[in-house]
């Protein structure tokens, strides 16, 4: 029996939504030159035991059997432009167009027009991926376009929700652009940190925690003093901040790994900071962990969730229920923490 629909949650999440049947390939519909049906490519299962890579905005794993599209009530499509709050909801929910830049097919899903990139692929299931560019659908050669459309319709709630979330995320990111200069603010451990250029300070940066009275007067409770002249170039400021944040990240992540590894009964061997645009972390069975240094923008509970997530992969190398049970044994509220990963606007680097 062929595997059915396979979803990719968000950018690189390998979790699968429950299947929707597609017909088996008709006999003789396979490529003629082939030396027989090939085994499916197993991109999600690398030969070296490595855990699935965890994307920057990982979506909650659907409950097995419950259905990704039904695990939450479908959110209505959102208007692309902010609408006056006085407009009744029914009117505010205007048809929305989602357009992939390389779209080659268009479909009406509920009230929205979705232009998506359609690809034929050597695979045994219809795959949906919602990324920053929009929806990408890939299907084996033997599945007809009518069947593809039917599969899209059957998962329309999931697809529209993901497209809406992806759009909101891009909007948040655009809003989070930092002007790298004296007085700029960026999130650090979940709270605003103000940059202060102060030539007398060490070039490496010095964190200053203000007293409550000072904090009231200044508007933030923490400042980063950078030993740079007030007229320093933006790139200079940004590089100095990044270097400081990466040092902080390395020290903090090491401490958190040491803290949680015994609780999970695992040993980690090596920590590398990553800078991937789309992944929070990854783990390999040999005990090496990669964590995105930009996690340092988030509050400690969120960082701890990602640390525990990667350590849990040293025990379970997939996102199966057993994996989530392992995570929950240390972080019972992992779903809420995970949600925050997508709700905070990160500075652009």
Residues that bind Zn ion (CB under 5 A): 52, 54
Look at the alpha carbons of 121, 126, 128, 129 in this order and tell me if their dihedral is positive or negative: negative
- Nearer Cβ to Zn ion (76/131): 131
Angle at which helix 234-264 crosses helix 321-330, to 10 degrees, equals 100
Q: What is the tally of helices (H) and strands (E) in the chain?
A: 8, 14
Residue 80 CB, nearest distance to Zn ion (Å)? 32
Q: Which residue is nearest to Zn ion (CB)?
A: 54
Residue 325 CB, nearest distance to Zn ion (Å)? 14
Residue 50: left if φ>0, alpha if ψ -120 to 50, beta else—which one?
Answer: beta
- Nearer Cβ to Zn ion (320/343): 320
- Nearer Cβ to Zn ion (52/67): 52
Is the Cβ–Cβ distance between 293 and 312 less than 8 Å?
Answer: no
Which 3-state string (H, E, C) describes 91-147?
HHCCCCEEECCCCCEEEEECCEEEEEEEEECCCCCCEEEEECCEEEEEECCCCCHHH
Residue 310 CB, nearest distance to Zn ion (Å)? 7
Is the Cβ–Cβ distance between 338 and 304 less than 8 Å?
Answer: no
Residue 190 CB, nearest distance to Zn ion (Å)? 22
- Nearer Cβ to Zn ion (129/157): 129
Distance CA 97, CA 135 (A): 12
Residue 240 CB, nearest distance to Zn ion (Å)? 32
- Nearer Cβ to Zn ion (52/187): 52
């Amino acid at each position: 029996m062929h595997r059915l629909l396979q979803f990719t949650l968000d950018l690189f999440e390998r979790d699968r939504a429950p299947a929707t049947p597609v017909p088996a390939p008709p006999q003789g519909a396979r490529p003629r030159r082939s030396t027989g049906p090939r085994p499916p490519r197993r991109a999600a299962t690398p030969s070296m035991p490595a855990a699935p890579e965890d994307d920057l905005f990982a979506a909650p794993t659907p409950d097995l059997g419950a259905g990704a599209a039904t695990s939450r009530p479908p959110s209505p499509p959102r208007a692309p432009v902010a609408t006056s709050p006085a407009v009744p909801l029914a009117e505010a929910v205007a048809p929305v167009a989602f357009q992939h830049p390389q779209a080659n097919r268009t479909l009406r899903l509920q009230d929205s027009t979705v232009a998506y990139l359609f690809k034929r692929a050597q695979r045994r299931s219809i795959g949906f991926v919602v990324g920053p560019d929009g929806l990408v659908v890939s299907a084996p050669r033997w599945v007809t376009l009518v069947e593809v459309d039917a599969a899209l319709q059957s998962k329309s709630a999931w697809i529209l929700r993901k497209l809406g979330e992806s759009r909101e995320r891009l909007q948040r990111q655009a809003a989070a652009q930092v002007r790298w200069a004296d007085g700029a603010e960026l999130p650090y451990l979940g709270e605003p940190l103000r940059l202060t250029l102060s030539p007398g300070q060490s070039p490496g940066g010095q964190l200053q925690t203000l007293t409550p009275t000072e904090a009231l007067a200044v508007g933030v409770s923490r400042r980063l003093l950078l030993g740079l002249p007030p007229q320093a170039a933006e790139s200079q400021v940004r590089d100095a901040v990044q270097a400081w944040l990466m040092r902080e990240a390395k020290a903090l992540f090491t401490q958190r790994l040491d803290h949680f590894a015994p609780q999970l009964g695992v040993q980690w061997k090596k920590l590398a900071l990553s800078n991937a645009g789309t992944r929070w972390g990854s783990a390999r069975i040999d005990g090496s962990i990669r964590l995105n240094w930009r996690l340092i923008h988030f509050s400690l509970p969120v960082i701890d969730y990602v640390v525990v997530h990667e350590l849990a992969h040293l025990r379970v190398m997939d996102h199966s229920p057993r994996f989530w049970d392992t995570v929950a044994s240390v972080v019972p509220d992992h779903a809420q923490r995970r949600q925050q990963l997508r709700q905070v606007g990160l500075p652009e680097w």
